[in-house]
Structure 1
């Protein structure tokens, strides 16, 4: 048996990678930290996707599932995260069989017997991938390649306007006053939503459409709302366009108080437990019962520290990919097709795929990840022509890119909408 390609992460892109590799007859093993495939997707299971089913099933995965008698959901329906996991990801993991291991986290990877500094003999060594299983057992897996599809869900951005935790933020979060996910139930009282991406719009619409006594304040770091609401009817993902229109309507109706140019420096907790947010310029937003901080997601690069990666210093994405996805230039639909040529690193056989490959950029869609792993699988199979023949057309947002980017600082939110 040859050394397998290790796929870290059993979400949509990781399982698609496994399906592509298996279809080409390559040995592959998937390690998923959660108790089930798609565990991260299930955590936002109450949110409905922007993308329809036809855009959420990877081609190789579809072919594999069809051989099992799987019934594909209606192409034009929009699933929730829970439905995506239940009706696609879990059956796909089952179809992949013993290749998928749940409750198993990849915690490190390196060239066998070589740290990142050592050149001597490096090229002749396989990868050593360290795995920690839920029961505490540790394993060292010899691998011919590594596809990191662990995403960015586990590292939400902080409320602090400079990318660091604001003073007092950890204590307020520990007390349950600050959350970093779209809430499944509306918090009571005065709720502040921080962020300018689709997660923030989703939260605003959800909070203002539910019955209750909550009042909503929306704080943005940018100086104005600008094109935050997106392209509306011009958006080629209609559900995404509708979300922006509903959020705009809530703001225009006065259901949301908007505070722009607010970069949080500190969070003060009063004797009654309520919060006061203090901006860099001294302005305050007070009497806050709960903050929903939706300020982006970040890649976890710590466990890759012994591999020779070439990452853009700003986006933390592969250097050849970064200019193609820079939110200062590109909108969600203007990202050009890309594959192994843009995803390769100085460390042979190592790829970041899916949301992880985009680092801090907000332009990722599932279709992008599926084409990435098709190209990566072809490269592992030695089919260079197929690896380099990358074709992908993404739906336009209906607005231009620019310094105020259309997509905001989130990633997963590019495929979510309010039911």
Structure 2
């Protein structure tokens, strides 16, 4: 074994997909080091702990991780149940991180990745050099860590897309920050509930996170008169706007779309279509006023919930050579398979190390981050990704090239699927969240793992 091969494989992010990658590496006798910016495992998932997955427990645990957990006496929850983000973190992800022990480091932020002694320009002996990661710890110390390969499973949760339809913040969006949020609010919290109860709230977005917000606000409206949502869509409402409904092979995901439709049908939300936000002004009383690029001005609202998707943070990867699609910011071989103009999450062909490879050999973006700006990532897709990637790192290309996953379909395959305006960034990259069972009688859900890490990530939520 060469000196470089004796170095660990560094995994960035201790979310669902990052921890699964570590489990697969351990199974192959390769030492991982997992770097997590947060204080605990699955910090991004914990950010939407109140949201219920639309995947069952049977679909959000990784086989290699289960094998690692088994000797500890860990018992897998009922495979037919729907965990919340909090359940997922506490009952599976944190125990998995605990088994990995000191292989997982918390409070560590990766600020840069490069080849030792080589910036992205230099060709000479490039592949012979190990990777070096620049780190900042929670107490501000700077460190360097060397690696034989890097698996970036850091997700997209920390970089939500703005309200502006051009992909940039709307004029006045930053100034209105006290009235704008980019996450599905936890309306079980009395303080948060008071912010939206008996108020008018604009919900911008058309993915599963927007469905969740509409459904939860409608639930509040039944108890708090005056609670009303203004649903802002960049395109119109069509037969596929609310997803697959009863035809969805993930019943809770279909139920989520039906719950959002009920919010509109029951008068708890008004839909404003073909509206592309350009400006957020302030009324005389300080309330936000959305102004569209066509000049339309909506009535003032009390709060704005922006759920227009997420995007990858590529800043710390500037010195490695990535091959990314110019539109989706996903690996070039993967991008055609996940283009939301053509696919729903259930029509994406399972993929592995070849589709995830970059010109810089040994660097892989996995999980929600691998999808770039494409929406609705499934945890089971991420688990298949890291199974293949870790096999490739180990040199087992027979296993790495084998497909071991069948995905459920949405029931609206062949078009934009669950997404209203993916090309304009309207799709919810976290596309995974759904209301609690009390709201959706079928059982509710959220990130089909979407990994939000990293989602609702992701599933969207987690990586």
Q: TM-score, normalised by structure 1?
A: 0.97
Question: Does 2:298 correspond to 1:294?
Answer: no
Question: Does 2:268 correspond to 1:255?
Answer: yes
Secondary structure of 2:72's counterpart equals: coil
What per-residue deviation string (whole Å, max 9, x for no partner) do you get for residues 73-98 of structure 1? 11111111011000011000000111
Aligned residue-pair number: 416
Question: Does 2:147 correspond to 1:151?
Answer: no
From 181, 195, 215, the equivalent of 2:205 is 195
Secondary structure of 2:249's counterpart equals: coil
Secondary structure of 2:74's counterpart equals: coil
Question: Does 2:87 correspond to 1:83?
Answer: yes
Secondary structure of 2:127's counterpart equals: helix
Aligned residue runs from structure 1 range 19-418, under 5 A: 19-173=23-177, 176-185=178-187, 186=193, 187-188=196-197, 189-210=199-220, 211-212=223-224, 213-402=226-415, 404-407=416-419, 409-414=427-432, 416-418=434-436
Secondary structure of 2:404's counterpart equals: coil
Secondary structure of 2:361's counterpart equals: coil
User: Cα–Cα, structure 1 residues 386 and 415, in superposed 2: closer, same or farther, change >3 Å?
Assistant: farther
CA contact (8 A) 1:38 1:85 kept: yes
The alpha-carbon deviation at position 392 of structure 1 amounts to 1.4
CA contact (8 A) 1:194 1:294 kept: yes
The alpha-carbon deviation at position 71 of structure 1 amounts to 1.6
CA contact (8 A) 1:207 1:216 kept: yes
CA contact (8 A) 1:243 1:418 kept: no
The alpha-carbon deviation at position 228 of structure 1 amounts to 1.6
CA contact (8 A) 1:9 1:149 kept: yes
CA distance in 2 between partners of 1:223 and 1:230 (Å): 14
CA contact (8 A) 2:307 2:428 kept: yes
CA distance in 2 between partners of 1:276 and 1:252 (Å): 24
CA contact (8 A) 2:155 2:312 kept: yes
Q: Which runs of 4+ in 1 moved over 6 A?
A: none
CA distance in 2 between partners of 1:27 and 1:407 (Å): 40
After superposition, the CA RMSD in angstroms is 1.2
The alpha-carbon deviation at position 226 of structure 1 amounts to 4.0
Structure with bigger RCO (C-alpha 8 Å, 6+ apart): 2
CA distance in 2 between partners of 1:310 and 1:418 (Å): 39
Q: TM-score, normalised by structure 2?
A: 0.88
Secondary structure of 1:107's counterpart equals: strand
CA contact (8 A) 1:225 1:260 kept: no
The alpha-carbon deviation at position 417 of structure 1 amounts to 4.0
User: Cα–Cα, structure 1 residues 38 and 28, in superposed 2: closer, same or farther, change >3 Å?
Assistant: same
CA distance in 2 between partners of 1:317 and 1:345 (Å): 10
CA distance in 1 between partners of 2:219 and 2:252 (Å): 17
CA contact (8 A) 2:282 2:288 kept: yes
CA contact (8 A) 2:376 2:431 kept: no
More displaced 10-residue stretch of structure 1: 49-58 or 264-273: 264-273
User: Cα–Cα, structure 1 residues 116 and 341, in superposed 2: closer, same or farther, change >3 Å?
Assistant: same
Question: Which residue of structure 1 aligns with residue 446 of structure 2?
Answer: none
Question: Which residue of structure 1 aligns with residue 10 of structure 2?
Answer: 6
